[in-house]
Chains A and B, each alone.
Chain A
């Protein structure tokens, strides 16, 4: 274990840093990475607590897979450092090889060994155990993932979902300090994806595993993760719980990427209130806007995020908006409405409130708290992880 004795050179006070990270399964400090001139990761920092399931969520090409590969040790770092279970494993001048990091990886293509049976795949990483201990651990895991009757089969004899479970069992078998999951459900049917997502969460929790999930699918992220980092252009835009990501997005990009919604124009009334076409709302006002600005004397113009559930259909309401598009979704209908000013909003209505295109329908606001963004500023790239 050579890397255990390697003296960290970067932190000013290595002992303090080591103590701070001793119980943290994964910590990234100011990690940057680039392929040539193409910058992939910029100044990335986050950490996971013991037993926590974290997730990096972002569109393809945002660098999330590179984070996983850096943590696993498949890529070397340009800047910053990565700590695993209190050990510094990556920095620009030090790199512990993947096989010494005590991590488990579930690959996007599962990467099962085609020449080995299910049981041998799961037992592959247990070469330090004796035969009996290995067999016991394999049996335990196969039972956990519900494949105890498939032990003697080969990977090609399994369905996609079963292969996925074998990959998970194989990665969990050596009891890794950290489990990495790279888009683990992207090769599966949508139905199966949702079911397996919940199942995987239960398995991870039952094994008390700390895990980092990489995905571009927010439903998957919401179903599995405790906390999610929204990634864009090599940076984490916001690291938060699913609830906060949806209701208190840190910037326009997060607001746009997570869930559905539209930005409508508003005027800041004071530090707590903002007025939009549909009425006044309390909300998160950017502090500099709340101070009032020189040009208008009142508050600034801002953009207010309205989710579909903030705008409620109410036949009795005097506020009217014209239906310009509707999407029937079974239990409810998602209307796209045009306000008198021409602005568009989304509204979720119960399924039996079926209105025709072009029909004006009554709506009212039902939002106790909204988020406003300054209009003339692009703060997407400057947001910090919380």
Chain B
């Protein structure tokens, strides 16, 4: 089993996102650390073409890779690793530790990105800051899909 971590710079933010219950919903935004890491990694991969700048300074909040596998969230880690290396060998079991590091690095980049959202939207709840960004990206995707759409030729 490999292990992945968050950067300790984000420890307090992670607690806010995964432990503290939001006032209106009476539950935390993310149910656990591994779901936050998956989300953050995707955010990281969306705003960065590679994960070179995602190295952790100081590790915190260890997560075992089996948690991702057990909750069927491991596909993202494989995709990130293939994308970064452009080589399927990274998926071999001998490369386990290295393979999972891509998820960790992208998640670190994603946490930095999210931190910038929160600092720009301090007056609104964290969940709304996240949902606003999700809305922006979703609108872009839908626009793009509309542009790409071609009428079928009969």
User: Are A and B genuine complex partners?
Assistant: no
